Amino acid sequence: MAIRVLASSNTHKIKEFKEIFNNDQILSLKNIGFDEKIDENGNSFLENALIKAKAVHAFLKKKKILASVIADDSGLCVDSLDGAPGIYSARYAGTNSSDKENRDKLLKEMRTKENRKAHFVCVIVEYFIDGSYIYSQGYTYGTILYQETGDTSFGYDCLFFSNELNKCFGLATSQEKNKVSHRYKAILELLYKEKERNIFISEVCGLCYGAKRSLSLTNEQIEKNKKIILYKEILHNSNVIKSLEEKGIKTVNNLNDINKDDLVIIRAHGEPYNTFKYLEEKHIKYVDCTCPNVKAINYLVQEKDNEGYKIIILGKYGFSNNKMHPEVEGIAGWCSNPLFIEDESEIEKIDLSYDKYFLVVQTTFSKDKTALFIQKIKKLMKNNNKIFDYKNTICNAQKLINDYSTELAKKVDVMIIMGGKNSSNTKELFNNVSKIKKSFFIEKPEDVINLIKKQEIKNGHKIGLSAGASTLKEDILKLKEIIINNL
């Protein structure tokens, strides 16, 4: 339960805040023994709220009371009076004026005014123990009546006809007013911002350049052509695949299922040389959406293979699950009978019957494994008088996602990683952040609701969010919204 001190002694306001913050402890200035006079001399609602919040915060700090401070400033703004009474609403008729005197002055000023539009505004500041703060604003719109109506015990309510309630605030119950009041709306925004300030998205995450490019090229073709075929999943992202299917785009996994008049989309992971050869021989049009970084590897291994090098591919070829990653499959198809290494134990078993070797790396392979494996292979080759060269072809985008995400993991209580369950780069990302902080792997934004229900993540937790290189930015933002709205 959060403890908040409301910078007010107004019993009506305290009651309203307690009703809205129903599960939290709200203390008044009287509860903490604060009786200092605060001079609200700001030029705006926000300035006045901050003045009050800082004064109470200083008092709590001195008394060593651990609580945040909530301070608000609110008032009535009338269009035809250029926003008056505004920040002077409580003292409109004079420094110590009563509510009745303030209303009388307002009615006098409004006697000849045809435009009676007005709105209440409330600005709330929450000042935290560490000295940081957030603020929110709420508005409710209506018109000024010609005479007092209903309950006259609170401010200008009996003169304000609410557009949303279609009745005067003076005739409304506190429950009715709370649902539409400026203060209620400001509190809702404040609660949203409270949760938002504890959710952090990694500065680098989500769709990499290659993934963005493949989707962009595909969407361009959707606008131009009717008969488009995806040859295998364009990305390891079920949401993307579903979205494309909803646009009428069919995915096939066999070249024989492609017709001559189809326009074929080659996935971001790339394809073996023979796939392109087949399509060209059959005069089937295609759009090559292979990631440029992957394409560069394809051409590199083809070149080195022609130069007589035995190609070694570091990557997920199926050592542990007998399932070759599509990028590795594609690279292998640009050279003859390459050697594969996925596990450290395979290094000592490398076939050393060739004179020279050239090594490349799956773009999403573990950077730690890559560094270790290359070091060991270099030593093995040197000890056996072999010519050895390599290029570390791990994608820099993937490296940046991992670097920024692991740094974020050090600063939060829990990490949530989102991406396709069969996405190699997302699995790698999850493995890396899991070494630092308790982490959860989800595939879709909606999956986080189960974590909330199980209380794996709670209100008050600092939550870090990151995503694999095939995850849409809008899905990451949707994940954040779901967390805020369900905590």
Considering the candidates 126, 271, 327, 428, report the single residue annotated as catalytic: 327
Closest CA relative to residue 291, chosen from 393, 212, 378: 212
Torsion angle of the four alpha carbons 73, 79, 83, 86, in this order, in degrees rounded to the nearest 10: -30
* Token digits of residue 69: 């401070």
* Token digits of residue 329: 């499959």
How many C-beta atoms lie closer than 10 Å to residue 326's C-beta?
Answer: 20
Structural contact between residues 72 and 158, judged by C-beta atoms closer than 8 angstroms: no
* Token digits of residue 300: 């590199």
Closest CA relative to residue 102, chosen from 76, 79, 127, 82: 76
Helices assigned H by DSSP within 142-291: 174-180, 182-196, 209-224, 238-246, 273-281
Identify any residues that bridge with 162 across adjacent strands, giving them in sequence order.
142, 167
Alpha-carbon distance 98 to 96, whole Å? 7
Alpha-carbon distance 264 to 227, whole Å? 9
Alpha-carbon distance 42 to 457, whole Å? 40
Known catalytic residue at 443:
no
Alpha-carbon distance 487 to 91, whole Å? 40
Pairing of strands 167-168, 199-201: unpaired
Alpha-carbon distance 231 to 286, whole Å? 10
Query: Which contiguous run of DSSP H or E holds residue 194?
Result: helix 182-196
Structural contact between residues 71 and 52, judged by C-beta atoms closer than 8 angstroms: yes
Catalytic residues: 327
